[in-house]
Amino acid sequence: MTRRTLAIVLTTVALALLFAAAAPRARAVSFVDKQAQAGSLLIQKYVNDYGQGNRFVYPSKSMVKKGGGLPGSSVIWPSNPWTGKVMAPGTARGTYTYARSAGGASYRLVVHLSSGNWTLTGGVPSWFKPERNTASRQNLLLLQRYVEAHAASHGGAYPAAADVTAVAFGPSYVWPNNPWTGADMVTGTTVGDYAYTQLNGGAGYSLKVMLTGGWSTALGPVPTLGQLTLSPGG
C-alpha cells in the first residue's frame, strides 16, 4: 500500500469516527424506568378491566389508586421503583397522572420517568358505538310494536306520551333496556333514550331514539302492525 493510499484510508477512518461521535443517540431507557413503565401497564389493565365491565365508561380519577375501587387494585399494585413505596398519583418520577374525558369514554395515563414521561391512552373501541346504535334501533322497533298493540286494543287510538312508559304498560310487557346504561329505556335526550309524541289527537305518532350521531329517523303508524299485534306475545 502506498503512502498516498494509506493517508487516504486513515483520513476516511478519522472522518467516520468524527461523524459517529457527532451523531445524536437515542436515550436508552434505564432499568428503573422500565420498572415504572411495567407498573403503569398493570394500572392500565385495571382501568381497562373496569371500562369493559361498565360499558366502556372508564373510572374516575379518584378510583385510580391502590384500594380505590378498581377490581384487583387492593391485591396487587405496583411500587415506585425509586422510593419503594406504592406508586401513587403525582408529578415526581415513579408517579403517574390519570385523567379521563368528561363522559368517561376515554382516558390518558402518564407515568413520570427519570427524564420525561410515558403516555398510555384508551377509549371506547371502534365496534362499540355501531353495536349500541343497532341495539337502540332494535329497541325502538319493540316500542313501536307496543304502541301498535295499544292502538289495536283502544279502537285504533295511539297512546298519549304519558302512557308510553315501562310503568304504564306494566309487567306484561318486557320493556327494553337502554344499551348504554342497562336500565329501562326512558324518554330523554341522551344516547339510548327515546322520544314519543302523539299526533292528530291519537290518530298518529312519532317515535325515535337518540343515537351517537343524533336522533334516528322517526317511526310512525304501521296499519298492518296495529291489526296483527293484539298483545305482548301476539
**Residue-by-residue DSSP string for 129-150:** HHHHHHHHHHHHHHHHHHHHHH
Residue-level pLDDT at 228? 46
Residue-level pLDDT at 103? 87
Contacts of 1-5 with CB under 8 Å at 24 or more apart are none
- What's the Cα-to-Cα distance from 19 to each of 10, 13, 97, 100, 117, rounded to whole Å? 14, 10, 40, 46, 30
128: how many CB neighbours lie within 10 A of its CB? 16
Q: How far is CA 234 from the centre of its chain?
A: 37
Residue-level pLDDT at 27? 56
Give the span between the Cα atoms of 160 and 93, in whole angstroms: 62
Query: Per residue of the chain (234 residues), what is the pLDDT tens digit?
Result: 555 544 444 444 444 444 445 545 545 669 999 999 999 999 999 999 999 999 899 999 999 999 999 998 988 999 999 999 999 999 999 999 999 999 899 999 999 999 999 999 999 999 999 999 999 999 999 999 999 999 999 999 999 999 999 999 999 999 999 999 899 999 999 999 999 999 999 999 999 999 999 999 999 998 765 444 444 444
Residue-level pLDDT at 222? 86
Give the span between the Cα atoms of 185 and 136, in whole angstroms: 9
Secondary structure (3-state) at 81: coil
Residue-level pLDDT at 4? 54
Give the span between the Cα atoms of 165 and 155, in whole angstroms: 20
Residue-level pLDDT at 229? 45
Of 138, 131, 137, 92, the closest CA to residue 113 belongs to 92
Domain boundaries along the sequence of the chain: 31-123, 128-227
List the grid coordinates of 74: 387492593
200: how many CB neighbours lie within 10 A of its CB? 9
For residue 182, what are the contacts with CB-CB under 8 A and spacing of at least 6?
55
Residue-level pLDDT at 47? 97
Rg (CA), the chain: 31
0.85 surpassed by pTM: no
Give the span between the Cα atoms of 150 and 164, in whole angstroms: 9
Greatest Cα pair distance in the chain: 113
Give the span between the Cα atoms of 161 and 22, in whole angstroms: 76
Please count the residues of the chain. 234
